[in-house]
Chain A
Amino acid sequence: MNIRFISLILILMLILLSGNVNAIAYCSLRDPVSQIAQLYPQKTNQLSIVKAVDDNIRSQVQFALPRNDLHFSELGQHTLYIAMFGKESLGYVHVRSEQSDWGLVEIVWAIDKDLRIRDFVFQRCRSPKKKIAEEGGFKNIFIGKNYQELKTLLSDDGVTAKKDVLIIAQSAPELANVVLRCALKTLLLTDILWGEELEKL
């Protein structure tokens, strides 16, 4: 038993010295193959790039988007998926969670190669207004916009959308605020964490 225990400690020490460790090893997209196909029907495969969201990245988000934070489950290792058609990149897919009154809302974002929102679907949303948020009128608030353009939709409090945006969101203003915050964090993190790799593609 002692030899086993010492062996285990030695293995763990070697692993610790070899690189970063991560609090949680899990996949945010439940099934990347089928869910990416929903957003990019013509894709033939996907290519994953895993990166760590750490406290330094969290601080950068807090600096760029004051009064915003990342949920604790958003720290750790995360994956950006590149939707592929053969060897050609069609765009990117990233899933992020945002806290709401109905628990965590998980949104799967399709991002084009200019880092603009191309489309989105809910992986999990238990709001009774979910159906409104799946309609074209609501989605068009966000589709086609980049980080800077989305930021102009934020009101002065930094966490809610401006009144004219909420009017378009009809009877789902709370969900519009959640989706806007999630979209901003998604585009910001995509640029900070994966920007270099994406430029090389």
Chain B
Amino acid sequence: MKFFFTALLMIAIAPCHADFTQNLRWSLDASARLNQNEALENTSRIYALGLDTHKVFTLSKGDIGYGVGQVYYTKLSNHIPVPFLFTSKDDSEFIIREAHVNYTAGPNWLPNIRLGHFTLPFGLEESIDTNGRLLDYYHGKNLGTKLDWGFGFNKVLSQIEYSVSYTLGGKNKAKSVDGSYAITGRIGSLSHLDFVIGLSFFEGKIDGISRKRLALDWQYYWGTWGFLGELALGENNKQLQGGAKEKYSLFELNKTSINEQFKLYGQFIIRDRENKPSADTLVNIGFSYQFNTQLELSISGGKQINGPSMAKKQQLARVQIRVRY
């Protein structure tokens, strides 16, 4: 399957290969993140060094599409729980984040065609990129993965935009694992406007769990303030444990300085699962400061404000320095 994707990617970019550096933008992206997890009484670090590229494929008569490639060498240090891509708390791996091409040169009535490893088109994450940032909309937790290999169709029309995809559910693997798959889609108003509203759906099987989701998301900006939200309803179905209904709500209030160097946000999240005695309620507060085009400092803190009395509540503080060159 990997060969299939690679071959298709090569066919897609072949006409432009002779002058690959034309319209190629790229940057080196390095970050160091310190995590203090109070519930686990653990301090961990994550280091990432990678290449972030964006290439417009152009022929003499015009553009035919673009490609995005993000490859990162990522090193953990004492990180628990161990993320799924790693085998131990001090492991290191090469990780592909976004790696896809989007063919945009079809006639107006035809959607653009995306192929590769991309963020699933669902909810707030569809228009707000959180890759490499402390800001998170919990895409991975809700759907089972944030990025997946597959193909999709997308288009921006005069009043609405849409994106639908079929992916293999293998997450970082370009193959279906034990019958995994994901069908995801979002339709919404234009994402660059001051008021954005969208409807998303998801049906898939990832890591042996079948999930269904239906979600409403919105963004409203007034001056330098933003009010964002995502409400999702659905069901998780594990083979042995049976089905359980899920509700997820996220509300965010953010403030940006007029020169956009400083960003502050607060999130309130409620996650309710059937068969659990009470819903999890979390609060996140974070800020970022962009010193210049290269250097950014981010700090965030999250705390669970209810939860089972016997278990320790989630409490996580994080600091990240990110340099793009």
Q: Which residues of A contact B (CB under 8 A)?
A: 1, 4-5, 8, 12, 15-16, 19, 21-27, 30-35, 37-38, 44-50, 71-73, 75-77, 79, 84, 86-87, 99-104, 106, 123-124, 126
Contact = CB atoms under 8 A, between A and B. Distances in A.
Contacts of A35: 156
B223 A23 contact: no
Given A12-B51, A25-B54, A126-B221, 6 more contacts: A21-B28, A23-B325, A26-B54, A47-B61, A86-B61, A103-B224
A16 B63 CA distance: 27
A44 B104 CA distance: 12
Contacts of A4: 73, 92, 94
B27 A45 contact: no
Interface string B257-282: 01111000000000000000000000
Interface residues of B, number: 50
A16 B292 CA distance: 21
A47 B63 contact: yes
A103 B259 CA distance: 6
A72 B262 CA distance: 13
B194 A5 contact: no
A73, A75, A99: residue with the most chain B Cβ atoms closer than 10 Å: A73
Nearest to A101: B258
B309 interface: no
Given A8-B49, A31-B156, A33-B112, A45 B61 contact: yes
Contacts of A16: 28
A22 B27 contact: yes
A126 B104 CA distance: 29
Nearest to B57: A48
6 contacts: A4-B92, A22-B27, A23-B325, A47-B62, A102-B224, A126-B194
B216 to A, nearest CB: 22
A34 B294 contact: no
A106 B28 CA distance: 26
Interface string B38-66: 00000000000101111010101111001
A25 B23 contact: no
A1 B258 contact: no
B105, B157, B293: residue with the most chain A Cβ atoms closer than 10 Å: B293
Contact of B26 (A25, A30, A44, A87): A25
B73 A8 contact: yes
Contacts of A48: 23, 56, 58, 63
A87 B59 CA distance: 11
Contacts of B52: 25
